[in-house]
Structure 1
């Protein structure tokens, strides 16, 4: 069944929309109201006790201010406003006319149809039932009209236009008739069929999720009860061999008779937990690397609290990366190391490499960057949340506790793809009353981490706001950093559909490094483009010339390869140094073992 639904002229039966047991339905409505009251109490109670402070005013103020600038353009000239209104009204009239003609038996084309891949309107009654078909088309026309208002408004600076486009998309996605009981035929029919039992279950889940969020909604995207760290996620055997205030260093057990002489140190993002690279044995990049002869060490960042309020990037470099290099050397006796940085972990690694070059620290001999930005000119939709006013408001909010609550960042990431990561779960959980299915990736996604105030403020200001790293204006440990000082070879992986670190943004960052850069483009997005084991034979990757000139030109001349880029990366690593030595066992060389992998820091929940 496609998104158009059945356009048969036969009048559809209304039997599925009629309540069969009014008494049972009324009883369930009463139970639903009772559960809704519990949800309201769960929201109110922590606020009455002073345990929760709302900061909704700041984003709402920014939305109003931004969209007001768009409306100023259209309302400043009456004829312009009339033209826009007339265009929308004429579309409504055309949809209405088509509805009348269809009822009379004519075959007519839709005025508006969902885009390919839009799963919101798959129920047959979206096309067969004239009422729901009208709602669908009117919504699609209105959403596109609103987007065009932003696109065609003159006099907006790029940042304001970007924000306005993002906010309009969020509003129109939220306003979709598929999100509401009375305007979604599938929800309506399910409610009638169950006499409203789905709504009772949904309100009960809503109350539970507000309680779990401590007064805020913690939207469940997976059945979290089906996963446990060290049991069915993050299961690769290893030991914690070092611990600082901000990081644990995990050394994994070898599985091969010999290993590459250069150990591999992985610096993951602290915005999420490291086990995205070790979800399960079939998806684990860590296990795959071990099985291919790498001595793998991973930095597991602490989930910070008030004690870490002043831990900035210098602290994360010294107590994370440099601390990790020391631990690797103590465990293996090797000074030369291959390093990997993922997302903001890659940005930190890049800044650290520039600092190390100033200091003469040369233990990292090659660097691999997974979906990493160093130039934030084309940083994507996350830039919507970054300007002076918003950062200052965020800093004020962080000053009270010393950190940014993990749910704030998780919500921001989810809003980048609200049509996939928010509203389908709102409908499924709270209206259909269904538990989400177990999914390890979404379990990881829900395992949010806090950000220390100093760290997060430094990141937002120096990267997203001022783009200081590529300007040579970033300062760490008293040094002004230049990526041109980084002479080691770099494998720079981007993902074609990445909405967090866009492929163009990663590409433009290549030009600032001082050494040889291998730019590789993976299929899919920020996660699936990285976590793509060869055995799955999914997606593809592109290789090409040195990443100079335009991204479009590079892509046009690139060569597409089927499947995963992992083997290509491993071959690149072996070209740097393929010397093999006996494997290193965690705990040898008088190194103290502190805990089993995945460690203790990763278990600290928000």
Structure 2
């Protein structure tokens, strides 16, 4: 019965929604001063709108300055037509309403901050749904396109809408674009699969240089995404670039779990994932330490593995790199809006029935975080403008999402997001608590400025819970775009700083003020750092180790990356 209710709401808890709204409304009802402030703000916004309209009607040849501006990343009102009447007033009325609701859902005494944020988020979703940019008769860009094409844009949009409706009803994944195919144009760095179990395949990449650094690199991607975000097109593949810099690179390619794997645990991903991969790498390249690199949740599980190894005296890591990876989840960004005990219980009920968290259910949550562009902006472009979605390598990867095993996802949400056990000193492995401060291998930590999945200040807190030698680098763009930032990519910049082992802590805002922006890609900075922690180049190792139980099984990118 509970699973049926969870399915009906797509895993969203109506109790969590009701609790947030009730908390906010009850406290607003007992705050007459706050009510007067909001009434004053409404009157002030109306006055500003009236003055703006009057300036338009003066017709003295000067364009009036709008009183309200959209967010920096909101591109719905970029068309020049939004500066003309009546569209300008519709746009400004919408922005004035949003401004009032932002004020109404913040700064309310007594309201739990998470409830206030949740109400703010929900009102933003409702307002975005009725934005004038969403309707053909109130969007000047759609009206112009309709006039110029004789309505062909609306006809194409209707065709796209029907196609998408059929795909959604049939639960069909989007058809791959001819220009981007796995193993041909994506995930096409040459290599071999040298190990496989039920959780992952291990890929060893073929050397591209006559000599290589003796210490291999092991890449641990997140299991909520397919690994080839780090091996997109050859020109922006981090893996291809790393191999070209003279490194022996191994990468984990996680399976796309089914209901039969519902009982896979977080410990399975550590023990039979990260540790099994490390055992294989150190067997294929013996007598060498390993540079480990974890991305997103891959960095989190790598941190857990590294802390466990440090506790147990295992010193096989030469260095550890964390890319947009959180170890502390108190400030885990907007994803926390979706998580509390009630919400997690609904997700657990749904996963108990399905055996996993479906890819569409997770993708929907990420889309809602940027609904003005990823939901409504896309709908306007596709269904009203008749524009086919622009095909990119990252867009193709983004549509190729994965599932999450029920048990592992529940443990991850509760143990890390809700209870923050790792940095609170309550995360146990094999019955004993681990601590990040036990890690002695040097760390290279990367955060991205516009990350809404792993906010950079949260990523930065790795410095608060470790004592080892650490370099922190903050790069431009977001969670994925900031990491896929190849040399030559336009409009990229970064900041970087070094903390010696045992140095005092510096808060993130002070760090930001004390480190200057440098133009370009961060990849070469990381490459130089890896080289400084590596030995002199040697001849490349063999592919696999057949005599030791690690034969080459098939060509990269392997079979798991093809699972749907």
- Aligned to 2:420, which of 448, 456, 467? 467
Q: Is the 8 A contact 1:198 1:432 kept in 2?
A: yes
- Aligned to 1:544, which of 491, 497, 515? 497
Instruction: Tell me, yes or no, if structure 1 residue 140 matches structure 2 residue 99.
Output: no
Q: Cα 1:410–1:117, aligned 2, differ >3 Å: closer, same or farther?
A: closer
Matches within 5 A, 1:128-207: 128=84, 130-207=85-162
Q: Cα 1:402–1:247, aligned 2, differ >3 Å: closer, same or farther?
A: same
- Aligned to 2:259, which of 306, 316, 325? 306
- Report the secondary structure of 1:202's partner residue: helix
Instruction: Tell me, yes or no, if structure 1 residue 423 matches structure 2 residue 379.
Output: no
Q: Which residue of 2 aligns with 1:454?
A: 407
Q: Which residue of 2 aligns with 1:231?
A: 184
Q: Is the 8 A contact 2:76 2:372 kept in 1?
A: no
Q: Which residue of 1 aligns with 2:227?
A: 274
Q: What's the CA shift string for 1:105-124, capped at 9, x where partnerless?
A: 35554332334554222333
Instruction: Tell me, yes or no, if structure 1 residue 604 matches structure 2 residue 559.
Output: no
Q: What's the CA shift string for 1:238-273, capped at 9, x where partnerless?
A: 111110111000000001111111111000001111
- Aligned to 2:328, which of 361, 372, 375? 375
In 2, the alpha carbon distance for the partners of 1:496 and 1:593 equals 40
Q: Is the 8 A contact 2:74 2:372 kept in 1?
A: no
The offset of 1:316, in angstroms, is: 0.6
Instruction: Tell me, yes or no, if structure 1 residue 389 matches structure 2 residue 342.
Output: yes
Matches within 5 A, 1:233-248: 233-248=186-201
In 2, the alpha carbon distance for the partners of 1:559 and 1:113 equals 29
Q: Which residue of 2 aligns with 1:92?
A: 46
- Please tell me the root mean square deviation across aligned C-alpha atoms, in Å: 2.4
Name which of structure 1's ranges 570-579 and 467-476 shifts more when overlaid on structure 2. 570-579
In 1, the alpha carbon distance for the partners of 2:7 and 2:28 equals 37
- Aligned to 2:302, which of 349, 353, 356? 349
Instruction: Tell me, yes or no, if structure 1 residue 563 matches structure 2 residue 524.
Output: no
In 1, the alpha carbon distance for the partners of 2:267 and 2:131 equals 46
In 2, the alpha carbon distance for the partners of 1:384 and 1:244 equals 36
Matches within 5 A, 1:8-23: none
The offset of 1:54, in angstroms, is: 3.0
Q: Cα 1:98–1:354, aligned 2, differ >3 Å: closer, same or farther?
A: closer
Please say which structure displays the higher CA radius of gyration: 1
The offset of 1:161, in angstroms, is: 2.3
- Report the secondary structure of 1:369's partner residue: strand
Matches within 5 A, 1:19-168: 53-56=7-10, 58-59=12-13, 61-77=15-31, 80-81=34-35, 83-85=37-39, 87-92=41-46, 94-96=48-50, 98-100=52-54, 102-105=56-59, 108-116=64-72, 118-128=74-84, 130-168=85-123
Name which of structure 1's ranges 443-452 and 156-165 shifts more when overlaid on structure 2. 156-165
Q: Which residue of 1 aligns with 2:240?
A: 287
Instruction: Tell me, yes or no, if structure 1 residue 584 matches structure 2 residue 541.
Output: yes
Q: Is the 8 A contact 2:259 2:356 kept in 1?
A: yes
Q: Is the 8 A contact 1:355 1:479 kept in 2?
A: no
In 1, the alpha carbon distance for the partners of 2:348 and 2:231 equals 33
Q: Is the 8 A contact 1:273 1:447 kept in 2?
A: yes
Q: Is the 8 A contact 2:257 2:403 kept in 1?
A: yes
Q: What's the CA shift string for 1:323-379, capped at 9, x where partnerless?
A: 111221232234411100001100000001112223333222211110111011211
Q: Cα 1:494–1:576, aligned 2, differ >3 Å: closer, same or farther?
A: same
Q: Cα 1:450–1:430, aligned 2, differ >3 Å: closer, same or farther?
A: same
- Report the secondary structure of 1:368's partner residue: strand
- Report the secondary structure of 2:86's partner residue: helix
- Aligned to 1:499, which of 449, 452, 458? 452
Q: What's the CA shift string for 1:504-524, capped at 9, x where partnerless?
A: 111112221242222121122
The offset of 1:89, in angstroms, is: 4.6
Q: What's the CA shift string for 1:225-247, capped at 9, x where partnerless?
A: 43210111111001111101110
Gaps of 5+ in 2: none
- Report the secondary structure of 2:106's partner residue: helix
**Count of matched residue positions in the alignment of Structure 1 and Structure 2:** 552
Instruction: Tell me, yes or no, if structure 1 residue 476 matches structure 2 residue 429.
Output: yes
The offset of 1:472, in angstroms, is: 1.4
Q: Which residue of 2 aligns with 1:213?
A: 168
In 2, the alpha carbon distance for the partners of 1:438 and 1:454 equals 35
Q: Which residue of 2 aligns with 1:23?
A: none
Name which of structure 1's ranges 113-122 and 232-241 shifts more when overlaid on structure 2. 113-122
- Report the secondary structure of 2:137's partner residue: helix
In 2, the alpha carbon distance for the partners of 1:179 and 1:216 equals 26
In 1, the alpha carbon distance for the partners of 2:188 and 2:121 equals 39
Q: Is the 8 A contact 2:200 2:560 kept in 1?
A: yes
Q: Cα 1:376–1:288, aligned 2, differ >3 Å: closer, same or farther?
A: same
Q: Cα 1:61–1:194, aligned 2, differ >3 Å: closer, same or farther?
A: farther
Gaps of 5+ in 1: 1-49
Q: Cα 1:349–1:139, aligned 2, differ >3 Å: closer, same or farther?
A: same
- Report the secondary structure of 2:321's partner residue: strand
Q: Cα 1:478–1:112, aligned 2, differ >3 Å: closer, same or farther?
A: same
In 2, the alpha carbon distance for the partners of 1:217 and 1:139 equals 36
Q: Cα 1:537–1:424, aligned 2, differ >3 Å: closer, same or farther?
A: closer
In 2, the alpha carbon distance for the partners of 1:282 and 1:543 equals 24
The offset of 1:394, in angstroms, is: 0.4
TM-score w.r.t. length of structure 2:
0.92
Q: Which residue of 1 aligns with 2:397?
A: 444
Name which of structure 1's ranges 294-303 and 153-162 shifts more when overlaid on structure 2. 153-162
